[in-house]
């Protein structure tokens, strides 16, 4: 209780009205929170400051959260309760809601010998290769009013370039968010997808899964979620969304390579998949090991409109890495070995 009150004091200056108006907007923060070990990692002061920061945003996306019932009650519900205590108003005691992905673990470890991909794109034919394992994890999405969560899905497999089925480790969570109160966004719905890709030590799995995810995304967005990926597609289907993929990619998703056959090309095919350049640049370290692992991907049509609005002065756009002063390393009990990252679009007052 004392920790929550301390965080609340850091979060706001009592009940005094602010001299500055906070205009409509949406701020998304994504964080690989390393098991959400609030009882063993970091210090009470660190958690007070972290929760005060989290409550400032409108959407909180957590990855690497233990999937057990005990961990859910002890950690996820604790996180939700603190967000609500920090953000409650006279008219709303619980402004935050949340959804959780289906529990999942490593499902795609490839054996040493070459093994053929599962053929076809029928889900029944999607087979795990190698031995799955590890403790199961979930992704958690929290949203603060007026943002609401309309629906959510767990993404278990994608399709590769040959039409084969690729199982996805730590199955991503996608949530459809109502963001119609933000004038500067090009659609009233935002589809946010949380990812935790395989580590660099399993580069082959990571690359295969990320390529398949990006290649499959537009088809899945339209067929499963019901929203077109492009502006033109929305004219045909009648439903458009801002598409945002965020989390721990364990690589820089905009990486480029050069060879004699292809020349310089994108490793993961962002442009072909309909996504803009990653919002967090390749030189920004987001992990304790100083790697550019965490990022936001946004569909190119939405990004062009948001960027145009920002250049014209009708909105503010902010992208940030929030470096932890004490990242978790060997013999160093920080909260996580990754830094939170955030992306915000906020309306400005327009001229008459």
**Closest to 242 measured CA to CA, from 319, 320, 179, 173:** 179
Whether residue 169 contacts residue 197, with contact meaning beta carbons closer than 8 Å, is answered with yes
pLDDT at 117 (0 to 100): 31
Token digits of residue 231: 């502006």
Q: How far is CA 46 from the centre of its chain?
A: 22
pLDDT at 126 (0 to 100): 58
pLDDT at 198 (0 to 100): 94
pLDDT at 116 (0 to 100): 35
Whether residue 282 contacts residue 295, with contact meaning beta carbons closer than 8 Å, is answered with no
The SS3 assignment for 118 reads strand
DSSP-derived secondary structure letter, 123: G
pLDDT averages per 10-residue partition of the chain, 352 residues: 55 65 95 84 82 97 93 92 94 94 80 33 46 81 98 93 88 98 97 96 94 95 94 87 98 91 88 97 95 97 97 97 85 86 96 86
pLDDT at 15 (0 to 100): 54
pLDDT at 7 (0 to 100): 58
pLDDT at 13 (0 to 100): 44
DSSP-derived secondary structure letter, 223: I
Q: 258 in the Ramachandran plot: left (φ > 0), alpha (ψ -120 to 50) or beta? A: beta
Token digits of residue 78: 């604790």
pLDDT at 62 (0 to 100): 97
Q: Is 290 exposed, middle or buried (0-12, 13-18, 19+ CB in 10 A)?
A: exposed
Separation between Cα atoms, residue 344 and residue 26, nearest integer Å: 6
């Amino acid at each position: 209780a004392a920790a929550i009150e301390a965080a609340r004091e850091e979060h706001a200056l009592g009940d005094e009205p602010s001299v500055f108006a906070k205009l409509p907007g949406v701020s998304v923060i994504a964080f690989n929170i390393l098991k959400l070990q609030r009882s063993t990692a970091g210090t009470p002061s660190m958690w007070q400051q972290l929760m005060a920061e989290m409550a400032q945003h409108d959407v909180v996306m957590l990855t690497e959260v233990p999937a057990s019932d005990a961990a859910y009650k002890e950690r996820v519900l604790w996180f939700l309760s603190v967000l609500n205590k920090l953000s409650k108003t006279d008219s709303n005691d619980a402004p935050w809601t949340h959804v959780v992905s289906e529990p999942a673990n490593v499902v795609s470890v490839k054996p040493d010998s070459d093994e053929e991909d599962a053929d076809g794109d029928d889900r029944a034919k999607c087979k795990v290769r190698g031995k799955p394992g590890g403790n199961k994890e979930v992704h958690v999405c929290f949203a603060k009013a007026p943002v609401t969560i309309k629906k959510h899905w767990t993404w278990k497999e994608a399709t590769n370039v040959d039409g084969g089925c690729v199982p996805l480790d730590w199955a991503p969570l996608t949530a459809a968010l109502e963001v119609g109160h933000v004038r500067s966004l090009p659609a009233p719905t935002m589809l946010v997808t949380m990812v935790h890709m395989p580590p660099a030590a399993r580069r082959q799995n990571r690359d295969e899964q990320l390529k398949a995810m990006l290649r499959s995304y537009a088809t899945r967005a339209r067929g499963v979620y019901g929203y077109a990926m492009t502006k033109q597609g929305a004219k045909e289907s009648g439903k458009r969304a801002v598409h945002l993929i965020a989390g721990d990619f364990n690589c820089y998703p905009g990486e480029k390579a050069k060879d004699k056959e292809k020349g310089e090309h994108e490793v993961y095919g962002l442009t072909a998949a309909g996504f803009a350049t990653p919002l967090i640049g390749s030189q920004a370290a987001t992990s304790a090991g100083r790697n550019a692992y965490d990022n936001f991907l946004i569909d190119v049509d939405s990004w062009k409109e948001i960027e145009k609005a920002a250049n014209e002065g009708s909105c503010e756009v902010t992208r940030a890495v929030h470096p932890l002063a004490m990242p978790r390393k060997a013999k160093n009990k920080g909260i996580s070995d990754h830094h939170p990252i955030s992306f915000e679009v906020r309306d400005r007052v327009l001229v008459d």
